[in-house]
Chains A and B, each alone.
Chain A
Amino acid sequence: MSAMRLIFDIALTHVAGRGRQTLVAVIGVAVGVGFSIAMAALMQGGQDDFVRQLVDTMPHVDVTDEQRTARRQPAEDLFEAVAISGLRPRDDRRGIINPTKAVSWLEEWMPGRLAAVLNVQGVIRYSGREVGAVVIGIEPEKEMRVSPIVEDFESGSFSALAAGGNNVVIGDTMASRLGAALGDTITAISSEGRARNFKIVGLFHTGTTARDEGEGYVLLKNAQILSNRPNAINEIRIKLDDPNAAPSIAHRVEVELGYKAVAWQEANESILEALVVRNVIMYTVVAAIMLVAGFGIFNIVSTITHEKARDIAIMKSLGFSETDMRRLFVIEGLAIGIAGSLLGWTLGFAIT
């Protein structure tokens, strides 16, 4: 133990005795470690923020009235045939069947909040101008609990819809394209040709062009009237307490309800994959920086070893073994590495 202490003392004396070179090596390691930490923190923080925004701006699980595979036609169940052609498919009425039961079932076990929605494809017209739009029927109280648009209103709010009447909130870009302003009355026309007038009671700006230019929110009842589909909904938006549980919950919903349920991870698979690629690149760069810092340590220890060749001979004559000598220089490298890492950690912490 005391022999180790002696080697430790000699190592530290060597390192301390070469103040300038040691300082340069320590700074080299510190800068490498510091910027690696800062870079990793910056990238990770950016990624977390990006994912958080991504998660916040969309439902964690989006249940729609679509199916992943085409619905089987009755003829396919009746006849055992390789292929059936010339069929006139049954005219399915779109929408989630028995929505009240589906919503109640979800509310029973699903850890989070949900909102039932009816999306109606159509056109919004004002003073001779028309914009293709999705008129979204919502229940304001519930929608406010799952939608981030609540925070994006420039004027008015979802609450204004709750007051009743034929009111609508639209994106500010759509309003400017139509030349309409708060308080003006626009006409919404469904794809089936039904038209209804709505008074603009709110304008929002999400920053997402597709939404600001192509979405208008009305009461669910009004959307059902506009599309002539009483009591219908075609989307259930779910916000979970734990966004990471989305895939398993989406799977369960899809199995139980039979409708396509898309978790936010699935909806943004390509973005998340891009993040993985970005992380690989980032950590490769970080590894390269650390490698360069490692070369710095190697360089200083190598220089010390060469310059201390005479001291090595002296110490061997004093009874030090080759193992002792190796330990001595390993400790010197470790001392520089640890000092540089601690300093780098502080630096990285300060930068971030």
Chain B
Amino acid sequence: MQSIFKRTLLPIILGLLVFGFWISPDFQEIAAGVAIFLFGMLMLEDGFNQFSGGFLEKLLERATGSTFKSLSFGVLSTTIMQSSSLVSVIAISFLSAGLISLTAGVGIIFGANIGTTTGAWLVAGFGLKVKISAYAMPMLAISIILVFQKSKYLKGIGYVLAGLGFLFLGIHHMKEGFEAFKDQFDLTRFAMTGFLGLMVYTLVGAAATVVMQSSHATMVLIITALAAGQISYENALALAIGANIGTTITAIIGAMTANFQGKRLALAHLIFNVTTAGVALILISPLRDAVDLISDAVGIRPDDYALKLAVFHTIFNFLGVVLMLPMMQKLIAFLIRTIPEITPDVSKPRYIGEAVAGFPATIELALRKEVAHLHENAIDLILQALNLRRDALYQARDIEAYVAASRTNFDVDLEAGYEQRIKSLYSAILEFITTSLAGDLTESSVQTLHQLRRSAEEMVRAVKEVKHLRDNAARFTRKDYGEITRLYNRIRTELARMIVEAKKMADADPEMRSSLWLEEERVRAKKVKAELGDYVEGLMIRGALKGPQATSFLNDAAYGYRAMKDIIDATRFLYSEQQGAMAEIEQILAADEDDVETAGASS
């Protein structure tokens, strides 16, 4: 059913457009105006994406402190970006990536509904009063010069300027189109009064917004049509209410691929907008009176319906926030009840997915979290393979003594564990990286993604190395077999120490953490390998270790060394500075493989 709808919708829309073009050339100008307006919004989005890795995402990440902050952020970002849908989708993306709380997300959505009212003011107050195309032309001419600049920030400013230019140009063409259109057709013939009119035009407003995926575009269309006298004021009010319902479709589509948190936020958006629309419909008469009162007070002419519609749009969105804000905690409790958190499946990705794929900063942050998730799974499996308990190890004051005392063999199927907890997650990470790299990323983002891929790769390799030595390590440490037990315990101890260092890095304050903290561990892994080789040689000379057992141990020691190195490198790649001057410093100060080799051999 859904696929039939999807398949037929596009031909229907195209057919209606062609029919419209055929019966009226002015309709072409209106449709082109809408298209230019939407194109302007896309350019604005592209422009803001150029600032990714900084501006918007960092602001959004910080807008979690309080409800007021997140609300203000919603207002501000929507005012700047002129798209509440885009802000909602970004909020869903950040919530899915675990970067903001649900409360902050709901606050942003509330704020976005206030921010979106600035669009109506822009068009009604400015777009219709002045020759807006006079501003659009120079903006477009300047923007194209900036777009061709090398600096991504200048390029970003160019796209934003071009976006605004196209928005203005789109408004101009819609205005012109409606002005000419009214000489041929009188759309007011279709005006409806009373409850039926309210309902029908609310539905039309919602449907138009669903098709255009932008309440802004719908509002511009309504205001320009209203200014040209093509729709009645009453019907325009209903259309504006409908636009507020229709705009939730973008967030709903965005949440389809999001996790439970993203879905909760999309539901919050729907509840907020439908409730606000419901209240506005019920209170339509008192709201109209309030609009007249405010308009008189601020000096808006009684027949300036475009500005009055902007006042109405603002009042009813504010009313929605005022009504819903005291119920915010109840709303959040309802969302949590309605869309419960699925018990996290460790084998499934928690942070990466299509919902976070649209924005470079979300891609990096979500991927970093997902790789950390893979690390957690890998460390768990490695510790099980070594017959060590994670919590006990992290609490142990004497790691060597704890390892020596851990003799019980864990009943663990490493192969199955690898398939379930490592391989599937690793595949998802690789797939996400490949898809993301195919998109439009900055050079530094590409580097970060490569580094995170290496981190995942090294940790997966560590698991494989440990799998090789598991059987012998378990067999010879079950009870005290003398030297061979001490040797295997040494490998287990050194691996456990590396894991504890990796844990310290994970727990450290991200602002104070440095991958240079692990330099000693890199050298230490090398030293351990050399020391064990020398020690085994001594044992063989003394006859304390037989040839086959010694060879077998040296093979396992090599696996152990590689696993240590992989764990440390995986941790370094995950937590090292990946962009900018701090990354350059770490690269200069960190030892390269030659340095490590020399230091390991000389000690």
Q: Do A and B belong to a common assembly? A: no
Binding site for A on B (CB under 8 A): none
